[in-house]
Structure 1
Amino acid sequence: MDQRLSFVTLAVRDVAASRRFYVDGLGWRPEFEAPGVVMIGVGEHVLLSLWDETEFAEEVGPVRRGAGVAPVTLAHNVATREEVDDVLETARRAGADPVSVAVEREWGGYSGYFADPDGYRWEIAWNPGPIAERVIPAG
């Protein structure tokens, strides 16, 4: 098996609301849409799939929801501290729950979090050093 990730799939309660958040609010472009699913390119060979929770459960299995947050985060790294604040503000304007403002982290970076319409946590981070070189596209 190749060491790579092709899809990140999020089971969402309302595909239209998630589409509005990611596409209209954050300005991302869908690559594929069908009833019950929106797929958005998030990397050279990676798609974010926003899949209707009921259809997800029919194929994958029962979805568990309860107190707390899902034990997963999604991260979007940027090249500067200022971009962290800009992206968090864009997400807030798009309707995101501002989970935490950006702060200096013990690991040497600067990051904050927001939640999408289904509560999935996104970390927006500036990460100094070799990790930044690995995860931020050259441009």
Structure 2
Amino acid sequence: MIHQRISLLTVGAVNVKDLRSFYQKLGWEETESSSDEYAVFKTAGVLLSIYPQEELERDSGLQFSAGGYKAISFSINVNEPQEVDQAMEGIREAGAEIIKEPHEAFWGGRIAYFADPEKNLWEIAWNPSSVFDERGAMLDF
């Protein structure tokens, strides 16, 4: 079974500092891990992260351009590392385009990427420091 939840929304930004400043001006609360290089904002059940577009390209192995993949990825965070592989099996069966097979991430977790029919980029991720509430909403990492 694939968890029906969106836990982290990542926007690939050309200028993280300026985009972070915009959300700060809205009065949005950030997590302690935020900086001008990578910012994370708390929302109602979903964390919004702002990540350098070139790093998102490196992580996913894709190059973003007009009319193609967008510089944004939706993340489904799971409870255990093996759930990344299990989720990708179901995603493959549903006919999604597999972008990057499950693998160990440089930051200590396990991730994989796929694209939906509209070429929106999705990540399945296990982060060893993720904290979820009783509903499965990500609270922090």
What TM-score do you get using the length of structure 2 for normalisation? 0.48
Higher share in helix? 1
Give TM-score scaled by structure 1 length.
0.49
- Greater C-alpha Rg: 1
